[in-house]
């Protein structure tokens, strides 16, 4: 079901087995809702009205760069990422004496990168839209996972040796969307 709102446009509503109404804002600022099976649309509208100010604030924080790319733009970006990210990852690994098995360039909705227990590092090609220093932070974060497959105190300590300003970079990367 879809309901229209004067501020948020079309809001996709799905019925769920839950006791609570939930609102979600995607990376492009689109609002959707989960509505308990027996709740009324009127109660949803009331909840939206109650949440209107905070929803607007949250939407305003979404970076303007979080726009959808055309299929052609995605292909070009992925090709650039294949070239750049693989070489940069190799350079960073060599510089810090780290090893990985292979690298994969992908598109994920929620992650910038990951590292498997077998040493495969996956990098989101949306990294190409982030500043260079944040790309390096993500790659060093994943390379550190080749040493520690967790986010333990030792992990963060080692990452701090590789990238001393990791706390600031970690905050800053949240301003960007890993989803294209």
How many whole angstroms separate alpha carbon 177 and alpha carbon 112?
9
Nearest to 48 by CA among 12, 95, 86: 12
Task: Find all residues with CB under 8 Å of 15, minimum gap 6, and list them.
Answer: 1, 35, 36, 37
Which CATH number does the domain 71-173 belong to among 3.40.50.720, 3.60.110.10, 3.30.2010.10, 3.40.50.300? 3.30.2010.10
Q: Along the chain (180 residues), what's the average pLDDT of each consecutive run of 10 residues?
A: 84 92 84 93 95 89 63 86 94 97 90 95 91 93 97 97 96 79
Dihedrals phi, psi of 135, to nearest 5 degrees: -60, -45
122 exposure class (CB count in 10 Å sphere: 0-12, 13-18, 19+): middle
pLDDT value at position 30? 81
According to the model, what pLDDT value does residue 72 have?
82
CATH 3.30.2010.10 boundaries in the chain: 71-173
Sheet of 120-124: strand order equals 102-106, 120-124, 113-115
pLDDT at 67: 52
Q: What is the pLDDT of residue 180?
A: 64
Beta-bridged to residue 35, according to DSSP, are 15
Exposure pattern of 28-45 as b/e (b: 16+ CB <10 Å)? Answer: eeebbbbbbeebeeeebe
Position 64 scores a pLDDT of: 57
- The whole-angstrom separation of Cα 7 and Cα 13 is 16
**CA triplet 158, 147, 77: central angle to 5 degrees?**
90
In this structure, are residues 2 and 15 in contact, taking their beta carbons and an 8 Å threshold? no
Measured CA distances, 9 to 2, 6, 61, 78, 114 (Å): 10, 6, 18, 32, 35
């Amino acid at each position: 079901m879809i309901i229209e709102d004067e501020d948020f446009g079309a809001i996709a509503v799905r019925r769920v087995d839950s006791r609570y109404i939930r609102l979600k804002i995607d990376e492009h600022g689109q609002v959707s809702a989960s509505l308990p099976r027996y709740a009324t649309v009127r109660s949803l509208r009331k909840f939206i009205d109650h949440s209107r100010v905070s929803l607007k604030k949250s939407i305003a924080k979404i970076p303007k760069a979080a726009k959808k790319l055309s299929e052609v733009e995605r292909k070009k970006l992925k090709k650039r990422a294949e070239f750049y990210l693989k070489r940069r990852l190799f350079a960073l690994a060599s510089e810090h004496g780290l090893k990985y098995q292979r690298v994969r360039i992908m598109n994920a909705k929620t992650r910038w990168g990951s590292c498997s227990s077998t040493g495969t590092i996956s990098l989101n090609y949306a990294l190409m839209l982030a500043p260079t220093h944040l790309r390096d932070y993500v790659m060093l974060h994943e390379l550190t996972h080749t040493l520690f497959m967790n986010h333990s105190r030792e992990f963060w300590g080692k990452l701090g040796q590789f990238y001393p300003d990791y706390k600031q970079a970690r905050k800053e990367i949240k301003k960007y969307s890993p989803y294209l």
